[in-house]
Each structure stands twice: as structure tokens, then as C-alpha cells.
Structure 1
């Protein structure tokens, strides 16, 4: 018996800046996890991943990450993705400092 498909988002890193980015439903890359397209169909997820991987001039390391619906958009399921969504923890600026402001 096959496993039930877990909803996914497409994530990567910005090629020039290194920031974690997420593919949105309208084909933009966003630094906000909540703006990511939540994909609930396995075939569609593979198509979106192929689309992201073809953008090698602007993104690197695109992959599918498990996510779940949340009140403000997709939420990370795994610790690694929650950590990535917060941004680098060794900076006193950027996403980490914005969350504490």
C-alpha cells in the first residue's frame, strides 16, 4: 500500500544572497514561508519542483518540504524547515531581529 501524500512547498536558496526562499502560487519567490504555495497533489508538486529547478540563474538547491495548512498560510512540519524559515541565527539583523522587534 502506498503512503498518503503529505502537502509540500517548494523551497530553495536565493543564488546571490543565500536567503531561504519559497515558491508562491503566482510564480514569485518569497522570503516569507506563509506566502509559499501549499501543494496537495503529488504530480503537481513534481511539476512545480521541475519549474523551480529550471531557474538555476536565480535559485539553488530547490526541493520539496513537508508543510501543513495554517491560519496565515503554510506552516513547517519539520524542525529543519522551521529553523530555515526563521533565518540565520547568527545575525543581529534580518529575520531573527525582525521577529524580536
Structure 2
């Protein structure tokens, strides 16, 4: 089992999961799950974050694999993923042709 990230005012967390219907990355917003990471709730209090995670884990009919991640607070005060992995996940499943093409690395001229 992976270690759960513990938020603080210096390093807030957001709650993320995958939509059960299409596998896309979703974030817990004020009114429920959203596809926009900037609309995610920033959790600074570990207790509130844990309660939100427990609530999300009970939503197995809506999302899969919810977990807390470290987030950054952007210049506008909104949430943003703090690590590349989460920003990459937000691009959508790489098993879809459009996503594979969008995420594919272009060959460098020296390798062609």
C-alpha cells in the first residue's frame, strides 16, 4: 500500500481519482468531481483531507482509486498539480489514439 500524502498549509493536497465511466482523471471540487485541476479543493488540514478521501473511497460507483496528492497553489490561488505525473495523468488515458499522439515524443533530428 502506498503512503498517503499528509497536507499542511505549506504543502496543500488535492484529491484525485479516475472516472469510472471513461477512466479520465478527475479532481474533487467544491460541488463534486471535476475534470479541471484548477477547480480542485485545496486541503491544508490533514483531518479534512482524510475525511474527503474516505468519502471518495465510498464512491466506487463514480470513481476508481481516489488518493491525495501534493498540490501547488498557483499565482491566482487555484490548485495545480505539483508533480509531472499528475499533470501528465490529466492529459487523459494514453491508450486512446488521440492521447497517444498528443503525448508522443517527437523524434529529435539527430535520431531520424
**Normalised by the size of structure 2, how large is the TM-score?**
0.72
Task: Give 1:84 shift.
Answer: 1.1
CA distance in 1, matches of 2:15, 2:35: 12
Count matched residues. Answer: 92
**Residue in 2 that maps onto 1:99:** none
CA distance in 2, matches of 1:85, 1:19: 7
- Please list, as runs of the form range in 1=range in 2, the aligned pairs for 1:1-101 lying within 5 A after superposition: 5=8, 6-26=11-31, 28-70=32-74, 71=76, 73-89=78-94, 91-92=97-98
**Preserved contact between residue 17 and residue 63 of structure 2 (Cα < 8 Å):** yes
**Preserved contact between residue 21 and residue 30 of structure 1 (Cα < 8 Å):** yes
**What's the Cα RMSD here?**
2.3
**Preserved contact between residue 34 and residue 72 of structure 1 (Cα < 8 Å):** no
CA distance in 1, matches of 2:83, 2:38: 15
For structure 1, the 5+ residue unaligned runs are 97-101
Task: List 4+ stretches of structure 1 deviating above 3 A.
Answer: 88-91
**Normalised by the size of structure 1, how large is the TM-score?**
0.79
Q: Which of structures 1 and 2 has the bigger CA Rg?
A: 2
CA distance in 2, matches of 1:62, 1:92: 25
Task: Give 1:82 shift.
Answer: 1.2
SS at match of 2:68: strand
Decide which moves more: 34-43 or 80-89: 80-89
